[in-house]
Amino acid sequence: MTPFRSGFACFVGRPNAGKSTLTNALIGQKIAITSSRPQTTRHAVRGIVHRPDAQLVLVDTPGLHKPRTLLGQRLNDLVRETYASVDLICFCVTADDKIGPGDKFIAQELAELKTPVIAVVTKTDKAGKEQIGEQLLTVSRLGDWADVVPVSAVSDFQVDLLSDLLVARLPEGPALYPDGELTDEPEQTLAAEMIREAALEGVRDELPHSIAVVIEEMSPREGRPDDRPLLDVFAVLYVERDSQKAIVIGTGGSRLKAVGTTARAQIQTLLGTPVHLDLRVKVAKDWQRDPKQLRKLGF
C-alpha cells in the first residue's frame, strides 16, 4: 500500500511569474488573487490540494524584488520566513520572458538553501517549442535543481505532473487539514484580496500599487429569514494621494461601482451566500513608507 504523504510547498519567483495562477490551477479553485500587474500578492495564502495519496499545502508568496519602500522590505521578509517553514520550493520563471537580474538574484538565494527546489517554467502557452526549450536550458544552468518542469496553468499543460513531482518529495504523514478545506486563510482576508484585485484591474498606469483594503465589518444581516440570508461587508480602500482616490472612484463613481460589482460576485462565489458590499475610498498619505500605517493596514 502506498504511504500517505503530507507537507508544505511554496512558489517563489519574480513578481508576475504566474505563481498565483498556478496555485489556483493545482487546487482547482480560485484562492490566490491574480492580476496582470506585478506585485499583486501581499499575503502568503495557503491553498490545500487533496489527493487520495497525499495532502499538499501550497504557500503562495509575494514576488521577491529589490525593495524601494518599507512595505517592499516587509514583503521580502515574508518570503524568506516562508522558505524556512516548507518541505520544498518551486522556483517559477516564465517561458516568454528573458531571464533577468531578478531571476538570477532569486536563484542565488535559493542555491544557499538546504530545502529541495523544483524549477518551474510557467506560461508555456505564451511561447513556441523552441523558446520553451531554450528557457529550460537557461533555467537548468541557474542552479542545481531537484527537477525542471515546463507547465501552463491556463492550458492545463503538465499541472498534474507538477502535482505528482511535488507529492513525491513530501514526507510521509497524516493529513494536516480536514477533507474539503481549500485554504486556512480567514474569509475576511480573502474577501479583501478579491476587492483589491478588482480595484487593480483596468486601472491606468499612473496608479501604482498604492491600494490597501481593510474589511471593517463582515456579518450576517439581522432579521433575515433563514432561506434568504445576506452578508454585509463594509470595506475601505486606502490610497496614498487624493489624485489616486479620484482614479479609483472614477467619473461620477463609475469605476468604484464596477469594482464593487466584480468583487461582490467573487465574494458570493467564494462564500456561497448573497453579499451586500459597501466600499469607501480613503487617503492614508504615503502609507507604504510609514511603519505605523503599515501596522494599521495589516503589514
Domain regions of the chain by residue span: 5-168, 187-296
* Cβ-defined contacts of 204-208 (< 8 Å, 24+): 204/247, 206/247, 207/239, 207/244, 207/247, 207/248
Contact present, 234 and 214 (Cβ < 8 Å): no
Residue 252: all three cell numbers together? 461620477
CA distance 60 to 15: 12
Greater confidence (281 vs 111) lies with 281
Provide the whole-model pTM.
Answer: 0.58
Neighbours of 6 (CB within 10 A): 20
- Which CATH number is 187-296 given? 3.30.300.20
Tell me the pLDDT tens digit for each residue of 46-95.
Answer: 678 888 899 998 886 666 667 777 777 777 777 777 777 789 999 999 99
| The predicted structure's pLDDT at residue 38 | 44
Q: What is the DSSP letter of 285?
A: T
| The predicted structure's pLDDT at residue 31 | 55
Tell me the pLDDT tens digit for each residue of 201-246.
Answer: 766 455 556 788 888 888 888 888 878 888 898 999 998 889 889 9
Evaluate whether 5-168 and 187-296 have a shared fold.
no
| The predicted structure's pLDDT at residue 207 | 59
Give the chain's length.
299
3-state helix, strand, coil in the chain (%, to 5): 40, 25, 40
| pLDDT band at 169; cut points 50, 70, 90 | very high
Architecture in CATH for domain 5-168: 3-Layer(aba) Sandwich (3.40)
